[in-house]
Amino acid sequence: MRDPKTILITGASSGIGEAMAEAYAGPGVTLVLTGRDRDRLDVVAARCTERGADVRAATVDVADRAAMADWLALVDRATPVDLCIANAGISGGTGGRGESEEQARRILAVNVDGVLNTIHPLIGPMTARGRGQLALVSSLAGFRGYPGAPAYCASKAAVRSYGESLRLDLRPAGIEVSVICPGFVKSRITDRNRFPMPFLMDADRAASIIKRGLERNRGRIAFPLPTYLMAWLVAVLPAALADALLAHTPAKE
Protein backbone atom coordinates (compact mmCIF):
# COMPACT_ATOMS: atom_id res chain seq x y z
CA MET A 1 0.00 0.00 0.00
CA ARG A 2 1.29 3.42 -0.91
CA ASP A 3 0.99 6.31 1.54
CA PRO A 4 -0.95 4.66 4.39
CA LYS A 5 -2.20 7.32 6.79
CA THR A 6 -2.78 5.24 9.92
CA ILE A 7 -0.16 2.61 10.72
CA LEU A 8 -0.25 0.25 13.68
CA ILE A 9 3.00 -1.41 14.75
CA THR A 10 3.48 -3.94 17.53
CA GLY A 11 6.89 -4.48 19.07
CA ALA A 12 7.65 -0.83 18.35
CA SER A 13 9.90 -0.20 21.34
CA SER A 14 13.05 -1.63 19.74
CA GLY A 15 14.61 -3.28 16.69
CA ILE A 16 12.67 -3.51 13.45
CA GLY A 17 9.48 -2.16 15.03
CA GLU A 18 11.26 0.96 16.25
CA ALA A 19 12.90 1.49 12.86
CA MET A 20 9.59 0.97 11.03
CA ALA A 21 7.89 3.57 13.24
CA GLU A 22 10.57 6.12 12.42
CA ALA A 23 10.49 5.22 8.72
CA TYR A 24 6.76 6.01 8.50
CA ALA A 25 6.75 9.01 10.85
CA GLY A 26 5.86 12.29 9.18
CA PRO A 27 3.20 15.00 8.85
CA GLY A 28 -0.28 13.66 8.14
CA VAL A 29 0.55 10.20 9.49
CA THR A 30 -0.99 8.62 12.59
CA LEU A 31 1.20 6.02 14.27
CA VAL A 32 -0.34 3.59 16.75
CA LEU A 33 2.49 1.92 18.62
CA THR A 34 2.74 -0.74 21.27
CA GLY A 35 5.67 -2.47 22.93
CA ARG A 36 6.66 -4.25 26.11
CA ASP A 37 8.89 -1.53 27.55
CA ARG A 38 7.00 1.69 28.28
CA ASP A 39 10.11 3.81 28.76
CA ARG A 40 11.65 2.77 25.44
CA LEU A 41 8.29 3.09 23.72
CA ASP A 42 7.93 6.66 24.97
CA VAL A 43 11.35 7.51 23.55
CA VAL A 44 10.36 6.11 20.15
CA ALA A 45 7.03 7.95 20.29
CA ALA A 46 8.79 11.24 21.08
CA ARG A 47 11.15 10.87 18.11
CA CYS A 48 8.26 10.11 15.77
CA THR A 49 6.31 13.08 17.12
CA GLU A 50 9.28 15.32 16.39
CA ARG A 51 9.04 14.20 12.77
CA GLY A 52 5.46 15.44 12.60
CA ALA A 53 3.48 12.24 13.17
CA ASP A 54 0.44 11.98 15.44
CA VAL A 55 1.56 9.21 17.79
CA ARG A 56 -0.59 7.09 20.09
CA ALA A 57 1.40 4.70 22.26
CA ALA A 58 0.12 1.98 24.57
CA THR A 59 1.60 -0.98 26.40
CA VAL A 60 -0.51 -4.04 25.64
CA ASP A 61 0.52 -7.70 25.88
CA VAL A 62 0.01 -9.13 22.38
CA ALA A 63 -0.49 -12.58 23.92
CA ASP A 64 -3.59 -11.32 25.76
CA ARG A 65 -6.36 -11.93 23.25
CA ALA A 66 -9.12 -10.04 25.07
CA ALA A 67 -6.94 -7.02 25.86
CA MET A 68 -5.76 -6.78 22.27
CA ALA A 69 -9.29 -7.11 20.87
CA ASP A 70 -10.58 -4.34 23.14
CA TRP A 71 -7.66 -2.02 22.41
CA LEU A 72 -7.74 -2.58 18.64
CA ALA A 73 -11.49 -1.95 18.52
CA LEU A 74 -10.98 1.42 20.19
CA VAL A 75 -8.04 2.25 17.93
CA ASP A 76 -9.83 1.40 14.70
CA ARG A 77 -13.00 3.25 15.67
CA ALA A 78 -11.00 6.38 16.44
CA THR A 79 -8.78 6.22 13.34
CA PRO A 80 -9.33 3.36 10.85
CA VAL A 81 -6.10 1.41 10.42
CA ASP A 82 -4.68 1.33 6.89
CA LEU A 83 -1.57 -0.76 7.62
CA CYS A 84 -0.99 -3.16 10.50
CA ILE A 85 2.55 -4.46 11.06
CA ALA A 86 2.40 -7.47 13.40
CA ASN A 87 6.02 -7.32 14.46
CA ALA A 88 6.11 -8.20 18.17
CA GLY A 89 8.15 -11.28 18.87
CA ILE A 90 10.63 -12.84 21.27
CA SER A 91 13.55 -15.16 20.75
CA GLY A 92 14.71 -18.10 22.78
CA GLY A 93 17.26 -20.83 23.01
CA THR A 94 19.54 -21.46 25.95
CA GLY A 95 23.13 -22.59 26.36
CA GLY A 96 23.62 -26.29 25.74
CA ARG A 97 20.90 -26.39 23.10
CA GLY A 98 18.16 -26.73 25.68
CA GLU A 99 14.75 -25.09 25.83
CA SER A 100 12.28 -25.49 28.67
CA GLU A 101 8.61 -26.19 28.08
CA GLU A 102 7.72 -22.89 29.75
CA GLN A 103 10.05 -20.96 27.45
CA ALA A 104 8.75 -22.74 24.36
CA ARG A 105 5.12 -22.02 25.27
CA ARG A 106 5.84 -18.34 25.91
CA ILE A 107 7.63 -17.95 22.58
CA LEU A 108 4.74 -19.56 20.71
CA ALA A 109 2.19 -17.49 22.65
CA VAL A 110 3.88 -14.20 21.71
CA ASN A 111 5.11 -15.04 18.21
CA VAL A 112 2.06 -16.95 16.93
CA ASP A 113 -0.92 -16.06 19.12
CA GLY A 114 0.37 -12.49 19.29
CA VAL A 115 0.19 -12.19 15.52
CA LEU A 116 -3.32 -13.65 15.42
CA ASN A 117 -4.42 -11.35 18.24
CA THR A 118 -3.07 -8.38 16.30
CA ILE A 119 -4.49 -8.98 12.85
CA HIS A 120 -7.86 -10.67 13.40
CA PRO A 121 -9.63 -7.80 15.20
CA LEU A 122 -8.76 -5.66 12.16
CA ILE A 123 -9.72 -8.05 9.36
CA GLY A 124 -13.45 -7.49 9.85
CA PRO A 125 -13.27 -3.66 9.74
CA MET A 126 -10.82 -3.76 6.82
CA THR A 127 -13.12 -6.11 4.92
CA ALA A 128 -16.05 -3.77 5.53
CA ARG A 129 -14.01 -0.88 4.14
CA GLY A 130 -12.76 -2.96 1.21
CA ARG A 131 -9.14 -1.99 1.82
CA GLY A 132 -6.24 -2.43 4.21
CA GLN A 133 -2.86 -4.07 4.52
CA LEU A 134 -1.47 -6.62 6.96
CA ALA A 135 2.24 -7.28 7.38
CA LEU A 136 3.22 -10.37 9.36
CA VAL A 137 6.83 -10.51 10.55
CA SER A 138 8.28 -13.99 10.22
CA SER A 139 11.99 -14.77 9.80
CA LEU A 140 14.40 -16.65 7.57
CA ALA A 141 14.63 -18.97 10.57
CA GLY A 142 11.12 -20.08 9.63
CA PHE A 143 12.31 -21.95 6.54
CA ARG A 144 13.85 -24.82 8.50
CA GLY A 145 14.33 -25.90 12.10
CA TYR A 146 17.73 -24.85 13.46
CA PRO A 147 19.46 -26.16 16.59
CA GLY A 148 19.22 -24.03 19.70
CA ALA A 149 15.88 -22.34 18.99
CA PRO A 150 13.15 -24.89 18.19
CA ALA A 151 10.19 -22.82 19.39
CA TYR A 152 11.41 -19.68 17.64
CA CYS A 153 11.88 -21.50 14.32
CA ALA A 154 8.50 -23.20 14.67
CA SER A 155 6.74 -19.95 15.50
CA LYS A 156 8.21 -18.12 12.53
CA ALA A 157 7.41 -21.04 10.21
CA ALA A 158 3.79 -20.89 11.37
CA VAL A 159 3.59 -17.13 10.79
CA ARG A 160 5.08 -17.44 7.31
CA SER A 161 2.76 -20.23 6.19
CA TYR A 162 -0.29 -18.61 7.75
CA GLY A 163 0.43 -15.24 6.19
CA GLU A 164 1.04 -16.63 2.74
CA SER A 165 -2.24 -18.54 2.87
CA LEU A 166 -4.09 -15.54 4.27
CA ARG A 167 -2.85 -13.41 1.38
CA LEU A 168 -4.79 -15.59 -1.04
CA ASP A 169 -7.90 -15.69 1.14
CA LEU A 170 -8.11 -11.93 1.75
CA ARG A 171 -7.22 -10.71 -1.73
CA PRO A 172 -10.87 -10.74 -2.93
CA ALA A 173 -11.78 -8.52 0.05
CA GLY A 174 -9.28 -5.87 -1.04
CA ILE A 175 -6.87 -6.60 1.83
CA GLU A 176 -3.18 -6.88 0.98
CA VAL A 177 -1.08 -9.32 3.02
CA SER A 178 2.70 -9.50 3.10
CA VAL A 179 5.03 -11.80 5.03
CA ILE A 180 8.35 -10.32 6.14
CA CYS A 181 11.28 -12.70 6.51
CA PRO A 182 14.39 -10.90 7.76
CA GLY A 183 17.78 -12.45 8.34
CA PHE A 184 20.00 -11.12 11.11
CA VAL A 185 19.00 -7.54 11.95
CA LYS A 186 20.76 -5.59 14.69
CA SER A 187 18.47 -5.44 17.72
CA ARG A 188 18.32 -6.25 21.42
CA ILE A 189 17.72 -9.90 20.42
CA THR A 190 20.76 -10.21 18.16
CA ASP A 191 22.92 -8.26 20.63
CA ARG A 192 22.74 -11.32 22.89
CA ASN A 193 24.10 -13.67 20.23
CA ARG A 194 27.70 -14.74 20.74
CA PHE A 195 28.24 -16.34 17.35
CA PRO A 196 28.94 -14.96 13.87
CA MET A 197 25.83 -13.55 12.18
CA PRO A 198 26.38 -13.40 8.42
CA PHE A 199 25.20 -10.25 6.65
CA LEU A 200 24.05 -8.60 9.89
CA MET A 201 21.99 -5.57 8.87
CA ASP A 202 21.14 -2.31 10.62
CA ALA A 203 17.48 -1.94 11.57
CA ASP A 204 17.12 1.26 9.55
CA ARG A 205 18.24 -0.52 6.40
CA ALA A 206 15.84 -3.38 7.12
CA ALA A 207 12.97 -0.91 7.62
CA SER A 208 13.71 0.70 4.26
CA ILE A 209 13.57 -2.68 2.49
CA ILE A 210 10.34 -3.61 4.26
CA LYS A 211 8.65 -0.29 3.53
CA ARG A 212 9.52 -0.51 -0.16
CA GLY A 213 8.23 -4.09 -0.32
CA LEU A 214 4.96 -3.14 1.35
CA GLU A 215 4.47 -0.24 -1.06
CA ARG A 216 4.78 -2.74 -3.90
CA ASN A 217 2.47 -5.26 -2.19
CA ARG A 218 5.05 -8.03 -2.29
CA GLY A 219 3.80 -11.31 -0.87
CA ARG A 220 7.15 -12.23 0.65
CA ILE A 221 9.74 -9.68 1.68
CA ALA A 222 12.86 -11.73 2.44
CA PHE A 223 16.34 -10.28 2.93
CA PRO A 224 19.26 -10.04 2.72
CA LEU A 225 19.46 -12.01 -0.50
CA PRO A 226 22.55 -14.16 0.34
CA THR A 227 21.01 -15.29 3.65
CA TYR A 228 17.65 -15.86 1.97
CA LEU A 229 19.28 -18.09 -0.62
CA MET A 230 21.11 -20.05 2.07
CA ALA A 231 17.91 -20.52 4.09
CA TRP A 232 16.04 -21.65 0.99
CA LEU A 233 18.82 -24.09 0.06
CA VAL A 234 18.93 -25.69 3.51
CA ALA A 235 15.14 -26.03 3.42
CA VAL A 236 15.14 -27.96 0.14
CA LEU A 237 18.04 -30.27 0.98
CA PRO A 238 17.27 -33.86 1.99
CA ALA A 239 16.66 -33.96 5.75
CA ALA A 240 19.69 -36.15 6.49
CA LEU A 241 22.04 -33.80 4.65
CA ALA A 242 20.54 -30.70 6.24
CA ASP A 243 20.84 -32.30 9.69
CA ALA A 244 24.52 -33.04 9.08
CA LEU A 245 25.21 -29.50 7.95
CA LEU A 246 23.38 -27.91 10.88
CA ALA A 247 24.71 -30.23 13.58
CA HIS A 248 27.73 -28.03 14.16
CA THR A 249 26.07 -24.63 14.11
CA PRO A 250 26.41 -22.65 17.36
CA ALA A 251 23.53 -22.65 19.80
CA LYS A 252 21.91 -19.47 21.09
CA GLU A 253 22.63 -18.44 24.66
- Domain assignment of residue 135, yes or no: yes
Asked if the structure places residue 18 within a domain, the reply is yes
Sheet holding 175-182, edge to edge: 54-58, 30-34, 6-9, 83-86, 132-137, 175-182, 220-223
Using pLDDT thresholds of 50, 70 and 90, give the confidence band for residue 94.
very low
Answer yes or no: is 77 within a domain.
Answer: yes
pLDDT at 1: 87
pLDDT band at 199 (very low <50, low <70, confident <90, very high): low
Least confident among 118-132, 176-190, 215-229:
176-190
The mean of the pLDDT values for the chain is 92
Q: Is residue 1 part of a domain?
A: no
Please report whether residue 192 resides in a domain: yes
pTM over 0.85: yes
Residue 109, in any domain of the structure:
yes
User: Is 152 one of the annotated active-site residues of the chain?
Assistant: yes
Number of domains, the chain: 1
**252 within domain boundaries:** no
Domain extent, residue 20, equals: 6-246
pLDDT digits (tens, 9 = 90+) for 2-43: 899 999 999 999 999 999 999 999 999 999 999 999 999 999
C-alpha–C-alpha distance, residues 236 and 78, integer Å: 46
User: Where is 58: in which H helix or E strand?
Assistant: strand 54-58
Domain assignment of residue 253, yes or no? no
CATH number at residue 21: 3.40.50.720
**Which of 24, 146, 152, 228 is an active site residue?**
152
